[in-house]
């Protein structure tokens, strides 16, 4: 999966990343879905082991343009895992209380504890994306946040958190098709927000903001992966594979029981 990992210090040009790519699993969708089910089984076992061992923390960050597939990724990749050890947080527009603090204050409260996997569905990166594109703060404010975020994530990593960040990359045509499907199906109208069309009109501005974000904040301790996301099944495979490789690399062990259980008899 290193072909999708953004090397620190490189300048990202999203036009050079094919959102329809499936180079690492050039098979049929049905075979991809079968592979994902097998990966789900492995993830369930590893997540239970992570929770039982209680030593490591994992933070997963998902960012994408509207309809990029953040919800679908969570639903399919983490299908069947124990919700006791996996949590999801979605960061909406900040509340008045949150605005009264620094922009990372609300983020830090939701970082994972020992044995946990925390998933950010949108994240602190909104503060260098939406605020930049919509001119919600001055340029000098959002420009210095890249360094803030790198330092924040370095602190988390130094304190034992493994950070994996995924940018779900779709094309403009694919976004149009997904928005249209929501409009055409009455059962999906609840997912359609007319405000998304205003952001769609700013597509080029958002792509540039994503490029700078990926270039400035992919680090050795918190790498970004640019995930081809036009094909939903392949998107799920890429995210699953990176996560499984990371968890298996921990070489985890179940903790020893506190008491000698050899002579325990249950009557």
SS3 string, 124-167, reads HHHHHCHHHHCCCCCHHHHHCHHHHHHHHHHHHHHCCEEEEEEE
Per-residue confidence (pLDDT) for residue 215, from 0 to 100? 98
Distance CA 43, CA 79 (A): 9
Distance CA 158, CA 149 (A): 14
Distance CA 23, CA 157 (A): 31
Per-residue confidence (pLDDT) for residue 166, from 0 to 100? 98
Q: What is the CATH number of the domain that holds 110?
A: 3.40.50.300
Per-residue confidence (pLDDT) for residue 80, from 0 to 100? 87
Residue whose tokens read 């420009």: 143
Per-residue confidence (pLDDT) for residue 119, from 0 to 100? 98
Per-residue confidence (pLDDT) for residue 24, from 0 to 100? 87
118 SS3 class = strand
Report if residue 263 sits inside a domain.
no
- Residue 242 backbone dihedrals phi, psi, to 5 degrees: -60, -45
Going by C-beta distance under 8 Å and a sequence separation of 6 or more, which residues neighbour residue 9? none
Distance CA 57, CA 161 (A): 5
Per-residue confidence (pLDDT) for residue 170, from 0 to 100? 98
What is the residue range of 6's domain? Answer: 2-248
Report if residue 152 sits inside a domain.
yes
Per-residue confidence (pLDDT) for residue 202, from 0 to 100? 96
- State how many domains the chain has: 1
Distance CA 246, CA 166 (A): 14
Handedness of CA 139, 145, 147, 150 (dihedral sign): negative
Report if residue 99 sits inside a domain.
yes
**Residue 114's closest CA among 42, 53, 47, 155?**
53
Per-residue confidence (pLDDT) for residue 55, from 0 to 100? 94
Please work out, in degrees rounded to the nearest 5, the angle formed at the alpha carbon of residue 207 by the alpha carbons of 203 and 208: 120
Written as six digits, the tokens of 76 are: 């399919």
Residue whose tokens read 């994996």: 164
Distance CA 80, CA 202 (A): 37
Do the bridges between strand 161-169 and strand 224-228 make them parallel or antiparallel, or are there none, so unpaired? parallel
The stretches in the chain having pLDDT less than 50 are none
Report if residue 255 sits inside a domain.
no
Burial class of 192 by CB neighbour count within 10 A (0 to 12, 13 to 18, 19+): middle
Do the bridges between strand 117-121 and strand 161-169 make them parallel or antiparallel, or are there none, so unpaired? unpaired
Per-residue confidence (pLDDT) for residue 68, from 0 to 100? 96
**22-31 confidence digits (pLDDT tens):** 998 887 889 9
Report if residue 260 sits inside a domain.
no
Per-residue confidence (pLDDT) for residue 52, from 0 to 100? 94
Report if residue 257 sits inside a domain.
no
Report if residue 132 sits inside a domain.
yes
Per-residue confidence (pLDDT) for residue 83, from 0 to 100? 85
Report if residue 45 sits inside a domain.
yes
């Amino acid at each position: 999966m290193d072909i999708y990992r953004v090397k620190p210090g490189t300048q990202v040009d999203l036009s050079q990343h094919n959102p329809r790519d499936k180079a690492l699993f050039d098979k049929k969708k049905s075979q991809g879905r079968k592979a994902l089910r097998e990966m789900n089984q492995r993830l369930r076992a590893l997540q239970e082991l992570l929770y039982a061992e209680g030593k490591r923390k994992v933070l997963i960050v998902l960012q994408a343009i509207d309809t990029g597939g953040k919800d679908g990724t969570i639903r399919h990749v983490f299908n069947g895992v124990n919700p006791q050890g996996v949590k999801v947080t979605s960061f909406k527009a900040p509340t008045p209380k949150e605005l009264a603090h620094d922009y990372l204050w609300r983020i830090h409260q939701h970082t994972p504890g020992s044995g946990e996997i925390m998933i950010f569905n949108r994240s602190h990166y909104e503060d260098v994306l939406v605020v930049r594109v919509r001119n919600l703060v001055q340029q000098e404010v959002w420009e210095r946040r890249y360094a803030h975020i790198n330092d924040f994530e370095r602190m988390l990593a130094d304190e034992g958190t493994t950070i994996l960040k995924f940018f779900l990359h779709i094309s403009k045509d694919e976004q149009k098709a997904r928005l249209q499907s929501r409009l055409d199906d009455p059962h999906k109208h609840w997912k359609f927000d007319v405000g998304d069309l205003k952001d769609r009109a700013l597509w080029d501005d958002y792509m540039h903001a994503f490029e700078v974000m990926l270039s400035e904040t992919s680090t050795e301790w918190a790498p970004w992966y640019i995930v081809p996301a036009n094909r939903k099944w392949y998107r799920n495979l890429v995210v699953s594979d990176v996560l499984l490789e990371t968890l298996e690399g921990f070489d985890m062990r179940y903790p020893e029981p506190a008491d000698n259980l050899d002579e325990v008899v249950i009557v």
